[in-house]
Structure 1
Amino acid sequence: MDANTTTEYPGVEENLSGYFQRSATIVRQYADLQVIERDYAQPVSHYASLKFKENPIKMTFLSIFAGLSALPLLSFIGLTVFTFSSIVFLAVISAAIVFITVEAVFVVCLIFMLWSLFIVACFTTVIAVFVYWTTRLGVLVTYEGPSGVTDWAHETRRRFFYAKRREATEESDESAVLVDQDGQSPQKFKVEEETLHD
């Protein structure tokens, strides 16, 4: 901060300084080596020295055993963590593989079922149309005699080709254009639906 800022805001520097002091005090309380030495290291060393004086052989054995067992103990902890992590990882991977496999089986079954239903629907439609036309032929022949066959043929042809003619009519907007020989007066006329049925 320059002198102008300090003179304009006299309390800012004091507040920042106080905040820094409080933060530094808290950090020192938790991270001061003297506190660690006073609260933890000195009592442990004092207790160990007393025990060495009371039972030197026992404490020597315990010290050697603790030093030798430190590496196996750390190895055990590391291997335990590694094994647990590996099992969790393999479990997640296995669950993902099983899920993908089951979903793939479901998708294949769904596709097969839809294809089977499509084929069944096609055959059912063909059979239904055939039964209808046969029944219609029988009804017309029964009521009209031999001329019913001709009526049935015209009716069947009209029903079968009506959809195609209707699509062609919709594509041409059901209208046509007439032009005079001079090419000056184009006329539109509506295509009659009755001509489609002839």
Structure 2
Amino acid sequence: MGAEYQPDIKQKQGNLANQFDKSASTVRQYCDTVENSYVRPILERFMHAFHTYPIQTTFFTVFGLMSFLPVALSIGFSLFIIASSICLIVFSGIFVAAAILTVLVGVLASVLITLGIASSLLTALLISVYLVFRLGVLVRFDGRAGISEWAVETKQHFSQAAMNTKADDSDSSEASHVLVDSHNDQDKPMKQEVEGGN
């Protein structure tokens, strides 16, 4: 087992060494390419310019080295201002949009509340007009007896509304049972009249 394990380790170490050599040769090749294609031509041109125009080349070299830091700081500061302005615009837009939405929701809520109050008042007014109109009709046709009939009819209307409200809160089976019983009670006098006639 040990003899088989050691060759595996040596083989893995050999593979790692080969990969390292390949990576090193690749990096060396890229460095040589950069040096031969860019660095040396630039240095040769710089030396040629320095020998041809020594004062101008020295001036521009010193000026370039001294202006590198201010230019870099100016570019960085400009990018910072642009990024800050964009963030400020975005957050300001979000804040303004939230404020506008809040105002619109508040206006909508107040309008809905006002419409609800107006609807309640109009409903009460319509019910009152109907009751007064119904009272006038019953008094016209039945005289004083129409007042009591109107009171009974009004009471039935309100009691029926209360029963419907309770029926909505209860189960549907119980509501249907109440409706069936009420229909049966109304049909009993009709059946008795039919049987009496027969």
State the TM-score, normalized to the length of structure 1.
0.71
1:80-130 deviations in Å (ceiling 9; x for gaps) = 111111111111111110111111111111111111111111011100100
Asked if 1:105 corresponds to 2:103, the answer is yes
Return the alpha-carbon distance in structure 2 between the equivalents of residues 40 and 141 of structure 1: 114
Structure 2 CA distance for partners of 1:192 and 1:117, relative to 1, 3 Å = same
What amino acid maps onto 1:62 in structure 2? F
> What residue number does 2:143 align with?
145
Q: Note the 1:54-93 alignment, pairs <5 A.
A: 54-93=52-91
Q: Note the 1:103-142 alignment, pairs <5 A.
A: 103-142=101-140
Q: What is the RMSD computed on CA atoms of the aligned residues?
A: 3.3
Equivalenced residues, count: 171
Return the alpha-carbon distance in structure 2 between the equivalents of residues 21 and 68 of structure 1: 41
Query: Structure 1: 5+ residue runs without aligned partners?
Result: 5-17, 175-189
Structure 2 CA distance for partners of 1:26 and 1:145, relative to 1, 3 Å = farther
Query: Structure 2: 5+ residue runs without aligned partners?
Result: 5-17, 187-198
1:32-53 deviations in Å (ceiling 9; x for gaps) = 2x22211111111111111111
Structure 2 CA distance for partners of 1:119 and 1:23, relative to 1, 3 Å = farther
Identity of aligned residues (%): 33
Considering fraction of residues, name the structure with more strand. Answer: 1
More relative contact order, 1 or 2 (CA 8 Å, 6+ apart): 1
The one of 37, 41, 49 aligned to 2:35: 37
State the TM-score, normalized to the length of structure 2.
0.71
TM superposition shift of 1:165: 4.0
> What residue number does 2:194 align with?
none
